[in-house]
Structure 1
């Protein structure tokens, strides 16, 4: 069995156990991975990844030249956290709810990417995740969030309360299901 097939099986099992925590039955594809990290590179410095799952986006960060030791993986699922420790031993791996990120990531980061299913979360939870993430991001840093929906997965009220803006930077039909990526950043 290939690593890709094993990842798909593990993702499907996690989805069966908790479909609201794992919003897809399969890991994201290469087209989406490349799209979500296309504005990130070695010059970005530290990168926080929320909900890395099996590490598809993590591998895309490495392909872009981000050093493994500059990646912080925040994964709530212990089944995925264990797998990430094996695959990315130099990355910092935090097994916790992303809403608690401000407690666990001390150093500032130059970017964050998110594979979290924000559309299935209450606005209060999305607020906590974004507030904690932006508390750990440098002034000009952005959070890159993907969604299967037709619009930004962060409610307007959350963006406004945190003084953030969201811009769709692209989409891909070569993902199952098709997906869009938003850059969320502080308003100037």
Structure 2
């Protein structure tokens, strides 16, 4: 899996954003603030080969809806092969910009969490803004946006969309990463 990831990074560095899949430590830090018992829907942007997805599925309720939106065609095929048999998991080959379409398509009224591995620092600003606008929209005032980034470069832009941001650092990852837990809760 690591070789496939590296190949995709070499072929599509701006869209892939990393040379290796996320570490187990980063996965643990990403999911630690998810209340799996009270969660009905989790959306994952840029799941890659499914490192976070595996942890989410190991902890969520059987009836939690999981939507995986992966832009990279090769990663999409890997995810589709892994999860085709799970009726509550929807694997989509598209841009996270289009999340509203899939929320409507699957009749989802409430998204509790959006987990993101998207490399916002390398995405065009207009694409990043559209993803953030749509993420804020599907989460409303109750949901939580959890993402990791390798820099704080887009911090001010993220603050334009989410009032409350908790930042932690995971050093045991290649490269080390920041985890942003974002809400609009009062």
Count matched residues: 178
Q: State the shift of 1:174 in Å.
A: 1.2
1:94-173 map, 5 Å: 94-106=92-104, 107=108, 108-149=110-151, 151=152, 153-160=153-160, 162=161, 164-168=163-167, 170-173=168-171
Q: Any idea what SS the aligned residue of 1:71 has?
A: strand
Q: Which residue of 1 aligns with 2:76?
A: 81
Against the structure 1 CA distance between its residues 92 and 42, is the aligned structure 2 distance closer, same or farther, given a 3 Å change threshold? farther
Match of 1:3 in 2: none
Corresponding position of 1:26: 20
Root-mean-square deviation over aligned CA pairs: 1.8
Contact kept in structure 1, 2:40 and 2:64, CA below 8 Å: no
Q: State the distance in 2 between where 1:93 and 1:155 align.
A: 29
Q: TM-score if structure 2 supplies the norm length?
A: 0.87
User: Contact between 2:40 and 2:63, CA under 8 Å: does it hold in 1?
Assistant: no
Query: After alignment, is 22-31 or 130-139 more displaced?
Result: 130-139
Q: Secondary structure at the match of 1:15?
A: helix
Three-state SS of the structure 2 residue aligned to 1:109 is coil
CA deviations 1:137-166 (Å, max 9, x no partner) are 2421111010111x2x53424532x35332
- TM-score scaled by length of structure 1: 0.87
Q: 1:54-73 alignment to 2 at 5 Å?
A: 54-67=49-62, 70-73=65-68
